Amino acid sequence: MDVQLSSQNIQIVDMKMDTLMEKFDNKDRPGPSFASICRKVSDNEYFERCDRMISPMDRMDHYIAWNFRRLAESIRNYKGDYMWHEGYLKFKKDVVLQGNVPIPLGFITMPFKPEKGWGNTLIVKDGEKSVVKAEAKDKPLSKSGQIGGGGYIAVVNNPIGYIGVLVPHGYEMSYQAAVPGRLYVGIGKNGQAIKAGTVLKYAYIAANIADDQGNDGKKMAVMSRAFNLDGKGPGYPLEVKTGKLLDSTYFLTIQAVGHETVFSAGPQPDIGIDLPIKIEGIEDNGCAAIYSSNRQWFRFIATLKDTAYLQEPIDKKNDIWVGNVFVADNKTIKLTLVKDGIDPSHSPFLEIHNPTDASVTTRISSPAGTPDFGGASFTVTVPAGSSIIKVVGQR
């Protein structure tokens, strides 16, 4: 597993599977708690799989849960969490897929107490088709099939809610459900012939949904529309004033212009988390931030390969600026803005870092729409391997 991004809001982890490993708990090897890391047996001769897991922050207050052990209070605002998976399998040999779920990607289990309505109902929606609801009553329920983009599946309910899988437009998943038992989801169809070199892509959301009364699956329909999984456009009011809208499927994705974007989003109170946002064209220079009408201060954000990843609440309409507060023409220069939380007698200032072994003279500017600093520009010389401080505003 390779952690690509670890931030206050969003965690991104990549995983690659291309080898076969020795199993634990065999006659010559104890279990994981008593043994070393399992050894590689051979390369996987049939395929390699790459998976990216993106985990956005939910609304549980972990500080209260962990530091004060007040669990009920910590989940007061919790409405669920939605983990995005995307990836592909690249085949090395010709194969023919077998089974209802030839390539399983995950499974779901649910407590089964039909007398209380726990885990005895299967909810399935295949793309634009109507919702299918089936209950296990006098005998176990078995069902399999396909789920197209905008569709979803879950076994409901438990005392808190349920776990479901939602499929975005452009993708299709297969499933095999046994109630009581497990619900398997994956890709591929029985009898499908795959040629060597073929790449099968997938994407889905694994959702924990806080809805103890939701045995009709309506909350999954709300999530599918809100996150644009049906491909019909943003599931909330949206106006992009600076920048270009690229996508609204799960992430609101906008291309910045001149290191900044300005937009408004919301209201959309039904998604239950702060909206995941991607802003492309943002430099990883230490000075990427968001400023919004909901949080009227600079909140510094993480970037990955010139894309900023963040979350922002849109329960109410939120006017948002995202960009580089300051940017240097010389891209080796790193910047740290110090503005909020300092002594009232001090003015905001910029720490300008030169990590190279040569003196650098560069122009530093703030994009035109930046709150407080828009249009500011100056030239500095920073000695090799050193930093300087530049006052950039008034209290």
Question: Kind and range of the H or E element at 226?
Answer: helix 218-226
Q: Which pLDDT score is estimated for 135?
A: 87
CB of 211 within 8 A of CB of 162? yes
State the chain's mean pLDDT as an integer.
Answer: 92
Q: Are 262 and 366 contained in the same domain?
A: yes
Domain closes at, from 226, 259, 294: 226
Residue 194 has pLDDT above 90, yes or no: yes
CA-wise closest residue to 135 among 116, 159, 164, 155: 155
**Each residue of 97-116: b (16+ CB within 10 Å) or e?**
bebbbbbbbeebebebeeee
Confidence of residue 360 (pLDDT cuts 50, 70, 90): very high
Q: Domain check: are 46 and 136 in the same one? A: yes
pLDDT at res. 228:
96
pLDDT of 395 reads 56
Least confident of 18-22, 143-147, 195-199, 387-391: 18-22
Domain boundary among 197, 226, 255: 226
pLDDT 10s digits, 286-345? 999 999 999 999 999 999 999 999 999 999 999 999 999 999 999 999 999 999 888 888
Q: Copy the structure tokens of residue 195.
A: 């040629």
**DSSP per residue, 20-79:** EEPPSSBTTB--TTTS-PPPEEEE-SSEEEEEEEEEE--S--HHHHHHS--HHHHTTT--
| Cα dihedral sign, 4-6-9-13 | positive
**215 vs 281, higher pLDDT:** 281
Beta bridge partners of 17: 49
**Based on the domain organization, do 107 and 245 belong to the same domain?**
no
Residues 259 and 218 in one domain: no
**What is the mean pLDDT of the segment spanning 348-358?**
96
- Distance (Å, whole) CA 20 – CA 269: 45
Q: Locate tokens 């437009």: which residue?
A: 169
Residue 276 DSSP SS3: strand
pLDDT above 70: percentage of residues in the chain: 98
CA 42 to chain centre: 33
Strand-pair category, 252-255 with 275-280: parallel
Q: What is the count of structural domains for the chain?
A: 2
Q: How long, in residues, is the chain?
A: 395
* Burial (CB count <10 Å: 0-12, 13-18, 19+), residue 361: exposed
Q: Please indicate, yes or no, whether residues 201 and 126 belong to a single structural domain of this protein.
A: yes
Of 30 and 335, the one with more pLDDT: 335
Q: Which tens digits make up the pLDDT trace of 129-169? A: 888 888 888 788 899 999 999 999 999 888 778 889 999 99
Look at strands 260-265 and 238-242 and give their pairing.
Answer: antiparallel
> Which among 285, 92, 299 has a CA at the least distance from the CA of 195?
92
DSSP state of 114: G
Q: Could you tell me if 159 and 266 lie in one domain?
A: no
pLDDT at 12 over 60: yes
Q: How far apart are CA 49 and CA 91, in angstroms?
A: 9
Sign of CA dihedral 81, 86, 92, 97: positive
Q: Tell me: pLDDT of 211 over 90.
A: no
Domain check: are 326 and 364 in the same one? yes
- Are residues 325 and 177 part of one domain? no
The single-letter code of the amino acid at 269 is P
Q: Domain of residue 25: give its range.
A: 2-226
Residue 78's CB is within 10 A of a number of other CB atoms, namely: 18
Return the pLDDT at 214: 66
Q: Is the domain of 60 the same as that of 195?
A: yes
Are 259 and 373 found together in one domain?
yes
Q: What is the mean pLDDT of residues 77-88?
A: 94
Tell me the torsion sign for CA atoms 325, 326, 331, 336.
Answer: negative
Residue range 240-265: mean pLDDT, rounded: 98
277 and 132 in one domain?
no
Instruction: Mark which of 200, 226, 252 sits at the end of a domain.
Output: 226
Q: pTM (2 decimals)?
A: 0.91
Summarised one tens digit per residue, pLDDT across range 37-78 is: 777 889 999 999 999 999 999 999 888 988 999 988 998 898
DSSP state of 348: P
Q: Which two tokens stand for residue 240?
A: 């992009």
Question: pLDDT at residue 28 above 90?
Answer: no
pLDDT per residue as tens digits for the range 118-127:
888 899 999 8
> pLDDT band at residue 354, thresholds of 50, 70 and 90?
very high
The answer to whether residue 394 scores a pLDDT higher than 70 is no
Q: State residue 13 phi and psi, 5-degree precision.
A: -130, 130
Q: Do 43 and 13 share a structural domain?
A: yes
Tell me the C-alpha distance between 169 and 148, whole Å.
7
d(CA 295, CA 169): 33
What is the rounded distance in angstroms from the CA atom of residue 250 to the CA atom of residue 168?
8
What share of the chain in percent tops pLDDT 90?
73
